[in-house]
Amino acid sequence: MPKIKETRLEIDLKALAHNFNVVKSQLPPSTQIMGVVKAFAYGTDSIVVGEKLVELGASHLAVAYIEEGMRFRRRGIKVPILVFYPQLEDLSKLIKYNLIPSVYNFYFLETLQKRLNRRKINHFPIHIKINTGMNRLGFDLEDLSMVKENLLAYNRVKVVGLFSHLSAAGNEKENDFTNQQLNKFSLARSFFKNEITTNFISHLANSSGILSHSDIAYDMVRAGIALYGYGNNAKEQSLLKPVASLKTIIAQLREIPKEASVGYDRKFKAKQPTMIATLPLGYADGISRIYGNGNAQVLIQGQKASIVGNVCMDTLMLDVTGINCKEGDEVEIFGQQHSALAFDKNKQSIPYELITRISRRVTRVFLDE
């Protein structure tokens, strides 16, 4: 048996399959699932996770940037891949690798059409993004007549998808706002069906939309954080299993006396004799300094231990007083037994940020048995 890496990010593909099936169970049989694999599949491994999602039945994948989509094409993945934030400087690669751009402003739409016109390419697929209230990216309803004019002026692209993004679908207090977004998206769909084409895929629901508003499935949903095991409220969380587990070992144990300090700037000073455990894991691995000084807890021998002092580049320290542990013992930073929500005990951030920041120098280990 090969030696298990001391510091590793375990990717549980069984948990991924479980979460995919939870998503699928919320949907009508005809609704397609787009697996969101941007940011290295939320800090896991984009290729392994992307291939698994296609195997499980994802009809589409979604990435943030063109370079991400190219990796899948080079691996032979042929499903449609939507690029949320396509870069103009990489348009030739977008076209070469048959990636689908999200089009959300006139500058990109016109530039893309001119490029296609020069290359005499027709019917290049695009998804149009509508701003229904997120106010981040997308065409407003008032822009749609001009969008139609632009599409007809060049006639080089084919609208194969129409979508928007929900701002607060997991927050019951914002249901009225979510309904406003639904109404705006419905108006946009009607415009496209009446004025442009009837043959396009509509998708609105993100993870919280899928789990909290199953009545808005439309033709396709975009499953992101839910696939990786996290929801935006207790109900959603109860259905899911964390896919990524960050584990390491105790590198050293040391008992310090009362009033001794730990780490840079002496941020922790012992109020009593204290047992300190040092872990070979730090902010270069993705554990931000915001989690120092008691803001996060890890799991050792089934017990919680708080981070003390400032997180260092390659190490962090724990107060393990009263925990029966020794050097070499395994520590779960977050994962199946100790979720990212439990790790971040003072809610300094969100699971999205924590799991996507685990650096590439941490070895990925895949579990699929």
Residues in contact with 3: Cβ distance below 8 Å, sequence separation at least 6, in sequence order: none
What does the alpha-carbon distance between residue 353 and residue 337 come to, in Å, rounded to a whole number? 19
CA-nearest of 87, 82, 111, 115 to 99 is: 82
| Strand spans (E) along 139-219 | 157-163, 201-203
β-bridge partners, 255:
275
Annotated catalytic residue within 38, 52, 241, 247: 38
Identify whether 14 is a catalytic site residue: no
How distant, in Å, are the alpha carbons of 39, 158, 196, 269 from that of 199? 30, 10, 9, 66
What does the alpha-carbon distance between residue 70 and residue 77 come to, in Å, rounded to a whole number? 10
Annotated binding residue 136: yes
Do residues 137 and 117 lie in contact, with contact meaning Cβ atoms separated by under 8 Å? no
Residues in contact with 41: Cβ distance below 8 Å, sequence separation at least 6, in sequence order: 48, 49, 50, 228
Which SS3 state, helix, strand or coil, does residue 352 take?
A: helix
Annotated binding residue 134: no
What does the alpha-carbon distance between residue 187 and residue 175 come to, in Å, rounded to a whole number? 18
Annotated catalytic residue within 241, 264, 283, 352: 264
Specify the DSSP element, H or E, that contains 128. Answer: strand 124-129
Specify the DSSP element, H or E, that contains 363. Answer: strand 363-367
What does the alpha-carbon distance between residue 158 and residue 62 come to, in Å, rounded to a whole number? 18
Question: What angle (nearest 5°) sits at the alpha carbon of residue 148, between those of residues 146 and 154?
Answer: 105
Identify whether 38 is a catalytic site residue: yes
Residues assigned a catalytic role: 38, 264
Annotated binding site: 136, 313
Annotated binding site for substrate: 136, 313
